[in-house]
Amino acid sequence: MTKRRTDRILLAHGGGGRLTDQLIRRHILPQLKNDALAELGDSAKLDLSSASVCFTTDSYVVKPLFFNGGDIGKLAVCGTINDLAVAGSRPVALTLSLIIEEGFEFALLAKILSGIGEAARQSDAQIVAGDTKTVESGAAEGIFINTAGVGVRLPGVDLGFEKITPGDRIIINGTIGDHGMAIISQREGMEFQSRLRSDCAALAGLTCRLLESTNGIRFMRDPTRGGLAAALNEIAAGTGLAVEISETDVPVDPTVRAAAEMLGFDPLTIANEGKFVAVVSPESAEQCLNICKSHPLGGNAAIIGTVVQASDVPTVELMTEIGGRRIVPMPYGRELPRIC
Amino acid sequence: MLERIEKAKDQMTAACEAMGRPINIMEVCGTHTVSIFRNGIRSVLPAGLRLLSGPGCPVCVTDQSYIDTVLRLADRDDLLIATYGDMIRVPGRGGSLETKRAKAAVRVVLSSEDALQLARDNPSKVVVFIAVGFETTAPATAVVVKEAAADSLENFCIFSGHKLVVPAMRALLSDKNNNIDAFLCPGHVSAIIGYGAFGEIVDNFGRPCVVAGFEALQIMEGLAEICRQLSCGEPELKSVYTAVVTRDGNTAAQKIIDECFEAVDGYWRGLGKIKKSTLRLRDEYGRFDAVQRFGLHEIPAEDTTGCRCGEVLCGLIEPPQCSLFERACSPEMPVGACMVSSEGACAAWFKYGRKRECRK
């Protein structure tokens, strides 16, 4: 059935005139409802509780737009929230830029905006400013999204590579590779795709709880593109120390493991969108683990390894199931394009 | 599982001590190579036991002249090149399929069926399927050639680079400088040809041949079995991959290979010309053979890059012994085929083995 023209985005919806106004007032504002945005001013005015903030931005071009466990809208909010969260801040405000391809269905846009609104509300962050552009058919694949975000740094929290010392433990809040495998299995049309679900989630609730409960946290990072392998290699490179992890301790969902095996991927290098890696003091490791485990986003959390003095060059090493050792290299990644 | 791993380790240690000299075992399967690295197997082996990564990765063994011919075909406007993804980055004269892709018609396919479909969808072009791989991929190529013949699909042909494993093993052992004590035989290939096919290696060369699967435990038990045979001086033919591999293999797959192809002499990277080692389409399918269709001649190419892939494939050196390794040659900027394929020995060493294993 062909859709009527009015069911779809037209180039004129990005022209700044009456249609743009309609798009914003009828389709976008109701989904995101908040006072700051409703003013439709040229800039949002923010009254923050502290002058010390974290500020970040990210663009999202994921394909497919809708996947098991989320969609590009949820991803765009959670991704930016998580970047703020792992830097030790409480996310407060986001901006939202939509680049929409001519002919994109309003029904799909509504679904995406609903995901955006929900993810923002769940994190107590508001979408305070935005922009909409339209491009000719063929110039974008449906929709691209950019978000930027501001978070207020938690008092007394100062995370960084320089805080990490040998003996520190490494914690992850759950299974790895879920997002990347959900996307790729859907793209490849694999038969068990329905059992693979992206972990896409906003982590600020859990990270704030951790940071407010203990001062043992030295550093956090969200292992998105390049997966756990990239995050740990960044830690090794940033500290000049080595990282040792145990294969049997790294949580991997059996379906993800099987799918990765079939496609020739290493779960360590597959993207996550609802995970963080925390480097914590040895004394606080158990407490951090317990806090994670008592949170809905940390049920499968585990202590997976230790930071050690590097014998020569800083590397990440995996203690394998059979008692062997091997390097976990920095992925040189071209295997999975457009996963976020 | 750990108990069985420990038992395998003990068997290997005991065998190495009994032998009183280093043992060299060659694996001839890229999936084994990768699994050995990923599981850190080298790091748990006794000091005297060395694993050599032989000619087991399809991209790696493909001769330079074949690559150069593919690149020449890619320059023609009337053709559409259909290739497995691994092949597109292999460097040849004047670039690679990847660098040509910007202006030439090159499509990456996941299967031979995709290549055939490409021909159906593009009637104005002749699709050339770059058919590489061992006995594992040859049956799938044979199937589409038969389909094309049945449908009289005239705009489809294959450029066969299919290789046979056993002739390569024979060639390696016929070189008097070889240092191979035994073979860990490939799981996938054996599932097709049957482990019985390695019998001649045991009988004629006195080398143990043991087929194993790809799990760490399978590989460890396969190696332990080889060590046991070596230490008691009784080379045997054996499979520890009993769930998948039988003595006779997949006879239906063998039959279709035989119906479409005949074994002819062919060039291998590093190993040179090997008798009856390459599959060529039989004359009755000649119109689907790119070699006949376009009058292609395979001229052995001289490698001027200084790349030592050939010696790596013969087990004569380990990748870090090549002066290009890690310096001029890396997975991002590969000089040799063994660094291109994810199953190549050089790529596996680069990825998992640097530092610890190359500085031993």
Averaged pLDDT, A186-203: 86
Interchain pair B39, A322: CB under 8 A = yes
- Average pLDDT along chain A: 92
User: CA–CA separation, B207 vs B226, rounded Å?
Assistant: 9
Structure tokens that stand for B220 in this block: 């460890």
A338 occurs within a structural domain? no
The yes-or-no verdict on residue B359 having pLDDT over 50 is no
- Per-residue pLDDT band for A185 (boundaries 50, 70, 90) equals confident
Identify whether residues A144 and A170 lie together within a single domain.
Answer: no
| pLDDT tier, B42 (very low <50, low <70, confident <90, very high otherwise) | very high
Query: Which residue is closest to B352 within chain A, CA to CA?
Result: A327
Residue A311 lies in a domain: yes
B267, β-bridge pairs: B273
Output the six-digit token pair for A39.
């003013």
Mean pLDDT of B114-127: 95
Domain boundary residue, one of A96, A119, A153? A153
Q: Pick from A320, A322, A327: which is nearest to B354 by CB?
A: A327
Asked whether residue A133 falls in the same domain as residue A195, the answer is no
Contact A326 B352 (CB under 8 A): yes
A235/A25 Cα distance (integer angstroms): 45
Together in a domain, A188 and A48? no
The residue of B217, B352, B358 whose CB has the most chain A CBs within 10 angstroms, and thus the best one to mutate to test that interface, is B352
% of chain A beyond a pLDDT of 90: 72
pLDDT value at A36 more than 80: no
- Total residues found in chain B within this entry: 360
pLDDT band of A69, cuts 50, 70, 90: very high
Q: How confident is the model at residue A170 (pLDDT cuts 50, 70, 90)?
A: very high
Percent of chain B with pLDDT over 90: 73
Q: Do the Cβ atoms of A329 and B1 come within 8 Å?
A: no
CB contacts of B5 in chain A (<8 Å) are: 322-323
A193 and A273 together in one domain: yes
A35 against A2, higher pLDDT:
A35
The fraction of chain B above a pLDDT of 70, given in percent, is: 96
Cross-chain Cβ contact A332/B331 below 8 Å: yes
Q: DSSP state, B341?
A: S
Helix A72-86 vs helix A204-213: crossing angle, to nearest 10: 10
Q: What is the pLDDT of residues B78-94, one digit of tens each?
A: 999 999 988 888 888 88
Residue pLDDT, tens place only, A237-278: 999 999 999 999 999 999 999 888 888 789 999 999 999 999
How confident is the model over B263-273, as a mean pLDDT?
92
pLDDT, residue A81, reads 98
Across the beta sheet with B126-133, what order do the strands follow?
B106-109, B79-84, B126-133, B156-162
Predicted confidence (pLDDT) at residue B299 exceeds the cutoff of 50? yes
Domains and CATH numbers, chain B: 2-43+165-239 (3.40.50.11750), 59-163+249-294 (3.40.50.11740), 309-349 (no CATH)
CA distance, residue B205 to nearest chain A CA (Å): 33
A313 close contact with B: CB closer than 8 A: yes
Determine the Cα–Cα distance for residues B267 and B273; give it in Å rounded to an integer.
4
Whether residue B38 and residue A325 make contact (CB cut-off 8 A), yes or no, is no
Closest residue to A320, CB basis, from B40, B342, B351: B40
What is the pLDDT averaged over residues B212-225? 95
CA of A290: how far to CAs of A169, A295, A303, B268, in Å? 14, 9, 11, 58
Neighbouring CB atoms inside 10 A of B278's CB total 24
Q: How confident is the model at residue A335 (pLDDT cuts 50, 70, 90)?
A: low
List of chain B residues whose C-beta atoms are within 8 Å of the C-beta of residue A316: none
How much is the pLDDT for B85? Answer: 85
pLDDT class for B356, splitting at 50, 70, 90?
Answer: very low
pLDDT at A37: 80
Residue A339 domain-assigned? no
Q: Averaged over A43-57, what is the pLDDT? A: 92
Mean pLDDT of A140-167: 96
> Sorting pLDDT into bands at 50, 70 and 90, what band is B358?
very low
B357 has a pLDDT exceeding 80: no
Q: Which residues of A touch B37 (CB under 8 A)?
A: 326
CA distance B153 to B322: 46
Whether B220 and A266 lie within 8 Å, measured CB to CB: no
Q: Count A/B contacts: CB-CB distance under 8 Å.
A: 58
* CATH number, position A225: 3.90.650.10
CB under 8 Å, gap of 24 or more: what pairs does B232-236 form?
B235/B182, B235/B202, B235/B206, B235/B207, B235/B208, B235/B209, B236/B202, B236/B208, B236/B209
Q: What is the mean pLDDT of chain B?
A: 91
Residue A305 resides in a domain: yes
Is B3 an 8 Å CB contact of chain A? no
Could you tell me if A316 and A175 lie in one domain? Answer: yes
Residues A192 and A252 in one domain: yes
Q: Do A147 and A237 share a structural domain?
A: no
Question: Which residue among A111, A136, A153 closes a domain?
Answer: A153
**Distance between CA atoms of A128 and A147, rounded to whole angstroms?**
11
Which residues from B are below 8 Å from A321, CB to CB?
Answer: 1, 39, 216
Asked if residue A166 and residue A144 are part of one domain, the reply reads no
Here the CATH number for the domain that contains residue A46 is 3.30.1330.10
Quote the longest CA-to-CA distance of chain A.
Answer: 67
Domain coverage including residue A89: 5-153
Label residue B300 by pLDDT band (50, 70, 90).
low
Rg (CA), chain A: 21
CB contact under 8 A, B40 and A312: no
Please determine, for residue B298, whether its predicted confidence score (pLDDT) is greater than 70: no
Q: Pick from A102, A125, A153: which residue ends a domain?
A: A153
Least Cα separation, residue A255 to chain B (angstroms):
17
Contact B108, B88 (CB under 8 A): yes
Looking at the structure, do residues A191 and A322 belong to the same domain, yes or no? yes
Whether residue A147 sits in one domain with residue A191? no
Q: What is the per-residue pLDDT for B223? A: 97
Counting Cα atoms < 13 Å in the Cβ hemisphere of B126 gives 18
Q: Residue range B199-228: average pLDDT?
A: 96
User: Mean pLDDT across the stretch B217-243?
Assistant: 95
Domain count, chain A: 2
CA distances from A28 to A25, A110, B156, B158, B319 (A): 6, 8, 51, 53, 57
Looking at the domain assignment, is residue A84 inside a domain? yes
Model pLDDT, residue B227: 96
Contact A325 B356 (CB under 8 A): yes
Residues of chain A positioned with their CB less than 8 A from the CB of B2? 322-323
pLDDT for A239: 96
- Determine which of A246, A322, A327, A334 to mutate to test the interface with B (most B C-beta atoms within 10 Å): A322
Between A287-296, B96-105, B233-242, the lowest mean confidence (pLDDT) is in B96-105
Q: Do the chains contact at B37 and A324, CB–CB below 8 Å? A: no
Within a domain: residue A40?
yes
User: Using one digit for the tens of pLDDT, what is the confidence trace for A283-298?
Assistant: 999 999 999 999 999 9
Clarify whether residues A180 and A143 are in a common domain: no
Beta-carbon separation of B39 and A323 below 8 A:
no
Residue A78, domain member (yes or no) = yes
Question: Is A301 inside a domain boundary?
Answer: yes
What's the rounded Cα separation, in Å, for the pair B183 and B198?
Answer: 10
Task: Note whether A262 and A304 are same-domain residues.
Answer: yes
